[in-house]
Amino acid sequence: MTILAWSPQLSVNIAQFDDQHQKLIKLINDLGAAMSSGQGAQVISKTLRGVIDYTATHFAAEEKLMTAHGYPEFRQHKLEHDALVKQVLELRDKLERGNITVSIETMNFLRKWLTDHILKTDKKYGPFLNDKGIS
Ligand SMILES: [Fe+2]
Ligand SMILES: [Fe+2]
């Protein structure tokens, strides 16, 4: 079950971040597969843990590069990251409390969460960082 597919439209034109976004998409699809195949709560929560951990790694990498180059929209970008992390942790809490209605809602949320952030926010740093010689 593919929740979300990579497409060139999602490219931010920075190779390492395109790679990381593709990995995040894969992790979210893995989570969707675990849910739709009726895996137990333990497997699902482990898979979600993978999404959460890799999200933290990815956000930190973006923040580091934006900071290193004095990206003018850093603060706003960081606020969005923080809000997204908070939301995904809330989802984990819901799942861990055994809220079964959360599954489809979770996948819709994660899909929208990732694509909106990449399309509306991440894409803005592309040209700025490209100008700094990063591609
Ligand atoms: Fe970002
Ligand atoms: Fe990103």
Question: What CA–CA distance (Å, rounded) separates 13 from 118?
Answer: 11
Residues with C-beta atoms within 5 A of ion ligand 2: 122
Contact of 3 with 108, CB cutoff 8 Å = no
How far does the centroid of ligand 1 lie from the alpha carbon of residue 132, in Å?
Answer: 18
Ligand nearest to the CA of 54: 2
How far does the centroid of ligand 1 lie from the alpha carbon of residue 3, in Å?
Answer: 20
pLDDT at 107 (0 to 100):
83
Ligand nearest to the CA of 22: 2
pLDDT at 102 (0 to 100):
63
Burial class (CB in 10 A: 0-12, 13-18, 19+), 94: middle
Full-model pTM: 0.92
Q: What is the CATH number of domain 13-131?
A: 1.20.120.50
pLDDT per residue as tens digits for the range 33-83: 888 887 877 888 888 899 999 999 999 999 999 999 999 999 999 999 999
Domain coordinates of the chain in residue numbers? 13-131
Ligand nearest to the CA of 74: 1
Question: What CA–CA distance (Å, rounded) separates 109 from 127?
Answer: 28
pLDDT per residue as tens digits for the range 74-108: 999 999 999 999 988 988 888 778 765 667 777 88
Ligand nearest to the CA of 71: 1
How far does the centroid of ligand 2 lie from the alpha carbon of residue 17, in Å?
Answer: 6
Per-residue pLDDT averaged across 9-28, rounded?
96
Question: What CA–CA distance (Å, rounded) separates 88 from 78?
Answer: 15
pLDDT at 39 (0 to 100):
82
1 pLDDT above the threshold of 80: no
How far does the centroid of ligand 1 lie from the alpha carbon of residue 116, in Å?
Answer: 10
pLDDT at 100 (0 to 100):
56
CA 113 centroid distance within chain: 7
Ligand nearest to the CA of 84: 1
pLDDT > 90 in the chain, percent = 62
